[in-house]
């Protein structure tokens, strides 16, 4: 059997993710080869804000599938736009890693330990808005680059602390990195955070085998989060946070929409039982209900103001 070609970005974290998928496929008897490439998000170091095009880190990888440079694309699911390309299919979402965010500093400072006007680096409007909501005195500044580049800026003294996803830290085995994890109550994650998305061409029957890596509870949870994001027309750059948890009996969904300066915050928390319908149908219905509740409270104004 010809090895399946896995398209991936060249960053250390992206390569880890692709190698993880490769190893999982090997375990079920499927040979693979990595096809590393560079996305626009890897070369354009301008701050990411609401004026930037979504898909900065995924468009080049998806193009590789469409142009038959690769058979499989591996994404960080939080970076993948919710608007699906009809020629591509999200074939699998493996079991999720932790969804927590971490505050990284040279001395493992907690948020409350940071002095007034401390400079915090993050490339995420979602994280920035939640930081400003809790600590309006902080100087939250944009930061770009892969994990190693951001840590270098911290070590050089450009920032007092930086924000990173705990999943990336664990995947890169940076277990000794000085940091404190935010509780969910303090920092709700991005839709899809901690999860991987494996895309294939919709008409490529030879790649249907990757569906063996799909993890049903994770798929249902991220479906609720991503459907919520799509219903809010927020894109992956807006100050929107969401976290779902799925079991055989029910799905819970927490969601937050903030203003950029963090002074306005809308929170919703809903649960829906899975009765006669599938987990994915329940996830879709729950997302629509939660999005409607947020929109009725003025979420669209906050999202549009952040563009």
Q: What is the tens place of the pLDDT at every residue in 127-160?
A: 999 999 999 999 999 998 889 999 999 999 999 9
Per the DSSP assignment, residues forming a β-bridge with 72 are 6, 200
Residue 204 annotated in active site: no
Between residues 163 and 60, the one the model is more confident about = 163
Q: What confidence tens digit (pLDDT) does each residue in 176-233 have?
A: 999 999 999 999 999 999 999 999 999 998 788 999 999 999 999 999 999 999 999 9
Residue 147 shares a structural domain with residue 3: no
Residue 269 shares a structural domain with residue 304: yes
Q: What confidence tens digit (pLDDT) does each residue in 89-99 have?
A: 999 999 999 99
> CA 51 → CA 46, 47, 58, 191, 235, distances in Å?
11, 10, 17, 19, 11
Residue 43 is predicted with a pLDDT of 42
Does position 56 have pLDDT exceeding 70, yes or no? no
Averaged pLDDT score across all residues of the chain: 91
Per the structure, how many domains does the chain have?
3
Between residues 99 and 81, the one the model is more confident about = 99
Tell which of 157, 181, 205 closes a domain.
181
How far apart, in whole angstroms, are the C-alpha atoms of residue 205 and residue 48?
Answer: 36
Report yes or no on 63 lying in a domain: yes
Residue 143 shares a structural domain with residue 258: no
Report yes or no on 60 lying in a domain: yes
Residue 306 shares a structural domain with residue 287: yes
Report yes or no on 254 lying in a domain: yes
Report yes or no on 64 lying in a domain: yes
Residue 262 sits at φ, ψ, to 5 deg, of 80, 0
Helix/strand/coil (H, E, C) string of the chain?
A: CCCEEEEEECCHHHHHHHHHHHHHHHHCCCCEEEEEECCHHHHCCCCCCCCCCCCCCCHHHHHHHHCCCCCEEEEEHHHCCCCCCCCEEEEECCCCCCCCEEEECCCCCCHHHCCCCCEEECCCHHHHHHHHHHCCCCEEECCCCCHHHHHHHHHCCCCCEEEEEHHHHHHCCCCCCCEEECCCCCCCCCCCCCCEEEEEECCCHHHHHHHHHCCHHHHHHHHHHHHHHHHCCCCCCCCEEEEEEECCCEEEEEEEEECCCCCCEEEEEEEEECCCCCHHHHHHHHHHHHHHHHHHCCHHHHHHHCC
Instruction: Say how many C-beta atoms besides its own lie within 10 A of residue 287's C-beta.
Output: 28
Tell the residue number behind the tokens 């400079």, with chain if given: 119
Residue 288 is predicted with a pLDDT of 98
Could you tell me the CATH number of the domain that includes residue 260? 3.30.160.40
Report yes or no on 173 lying in a domain: yes
Does position 40 have pLDDT exceeding 70, yes or no? no
Residue 228 shares a structural domain with residue 89: no
- In this structure, the chain runs to a length of 307
Residue 307 shares a structural domain with residue 221: yes
Q: Which residue range(s) make up the domain with 235?
A: 216-307
Report yes or no on 188 lying in a domain: no
User: Which is the catalytic residue, given 79, 160, 204, 284?
Assistant: 79
Residue 81 shares a structural domain with residue 106: no
Does position 306 have pLDDT exceeding 90, yes or no? no
Residue 64 shares a structural domain with residue 210: yes
Q: Is 184 left (phi over 0), alpha (psi -120 to 50) or beta?
A: alpha
Residue 20 shares a structural domain with residue 166: no
Does position 41 have pLDDT exceeding 50, yes or no? no
Residue 210 shares a structural domain with residue 85: yes
Band of pLDDT at residue 55, cut at 50, 70 and 90: low
Nearest one of 302, 266, 260, 264 to 126, comparing CA atoms: 260
Residue 80 shares a structural domain with residue 204: yes
71-75, 105-109, 233-237, 282-286: which has the minimum mean pLDDT?
233-237
Could you tell me the CATH number of the domain that includes residue 66? 3.40.190.10
Report yes or no on 189 lying in a domain: no
Residue 262 shares a structural domain with residue 207: no
Residue 261 is predicted with a pLDDT of 94
């Amino acid at each position: 059997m010809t090895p399946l070609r896995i398209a991936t970005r060249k960053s250390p974290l992206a390569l880890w993710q692709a190698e993880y998928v490769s190893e999982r496929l090997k375990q079920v008897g499927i040979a693979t080869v990595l096809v590393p490439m560079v996305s626009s998000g890897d070369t354009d170091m301008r701050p990411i804000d609401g004026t930037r095009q979504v898909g900065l880190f995924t468009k080049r990888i998806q193009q590789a599938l469409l142009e038959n440079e690769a058979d499989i694309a591996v994404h960080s699911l939080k970076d993948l736009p919710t608007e699906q390309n009809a020629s591509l299919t999200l074939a699998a979402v493996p079991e999720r890693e932790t969804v927590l965010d971490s505050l990284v500093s040279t001395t493992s400072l907690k948020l409350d330990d940071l002095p007034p006007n401390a400079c915090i680096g993050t490339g995420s409007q979602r994280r920035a808005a939640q930081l400003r909501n809790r600590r309006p005195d902080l100087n939250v500044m944009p930061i770009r680059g892969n994990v190693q580049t951001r840590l270098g800026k911290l070590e050089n003294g450009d920032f007092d602390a930086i924000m990173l996803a705990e999943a990336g830290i664990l995947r890169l085995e940076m277990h000794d990195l000085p940091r404190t994890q935010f509780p969910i109550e303090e920092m709700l994650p991005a839709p899809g955070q901690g999860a991987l998305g494996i895309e294939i061409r919709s008409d490529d029957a030879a790649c249907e085998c990757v569906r063996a890596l799909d993890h049903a509870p994770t798929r249902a949870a991220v479906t609720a989060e991503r459907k919520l994001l799509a219903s809010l027309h927020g894109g992956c750059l807006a100050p929107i946070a969401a976290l779902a948890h799925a079991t055989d009996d029910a799905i819970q969904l927490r969601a937050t929409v903030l203003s950029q300066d963090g002074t306005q915050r809308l929170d919703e928390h809903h649960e829906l039982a899975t009765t006669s319908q599938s987990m994915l149908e329940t996830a879709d219905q729950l997302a629509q209900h939660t999005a409607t509740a947020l929109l009725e409270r003025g979420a669209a104004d906050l999202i549009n103001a952040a563009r």
